[in-house]
């Protein structure tokens, strides 16, 4: 599948702080999706970005698609313990298939 790099692999955050995780591709993407997997759970779809420069918000989560459609970011403000988990970006390849990044695992210090 298509390679997509996700950084950082681990993010340790103090509760209340902000952080950002990034997803980078060497090729132009038609769209990008983000998923969240809670500890012991399964990946759950969060959002899809399609347009160049698109920004979407879900409460404290802000998702952005780069102008060149080669990268994306997820920014979380005022991190809470409920944000703990692994966040994956996923990019399409072939028909209906997705290639997932390795994920950013977030832990929160209370």
- What residue ranges bind other proteins (CB under 8 A)? 1, 6, 9, 33, 41-45, 48, 88, 90, 94-103
Spatial separation of the C-alpha atoms in residues 6 and 76, rounded to whole Å: 16
* Bridge partner residues of 16 (DSSP): none
First to last CA, the chain: 38
CB 50 to other proteins: min, Å? 10
State which residue, 45 or 51, has the beta carbon closest to other proteins.
45
Q: Please say which residue, 16 or 57, places its beta carbon nearer to other proteins.
A: 57
| CB contact set of 73 (below 8 Å; sequence gap of 6+) | 20, 21, 22, 23, 63, 64
Q: Which is nearer to other proteins, 1 or 53 (CB)?
A: 1
* Least distance (Å) between residue 7 CB and other proteins: 13
CB closer to other proteins out of 43 and 75:
43
DSSP assignment of 67-101: TTSSEEEEEESS--GGG-EEEEEEEEETTTEEEE-
């Amino acid at each position: 599948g298509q390679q997509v790099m996700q950084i950082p692999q681990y993010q340790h955050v103090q509760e209340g702080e902000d952080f950002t995780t990034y997803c980078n591709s060497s090729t132009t993407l038609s769209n990008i999706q983000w998923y969240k997997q809670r500890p012991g759970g399964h990946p759950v779809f969060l959002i899809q970005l399609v347009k160049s420069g698109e920004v979407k918000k879900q409460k404290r989560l802000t998702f952005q698609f780069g102008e060149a459609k080669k990268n994306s970011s997820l920014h979380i403000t005022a991190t809470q313990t409920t944000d703990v988990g692994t966040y994956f970006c996923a990019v399409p390849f072939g028909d209906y298939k997705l290639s997932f990044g390795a994920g950013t695992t977030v832990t929160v210090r209370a």
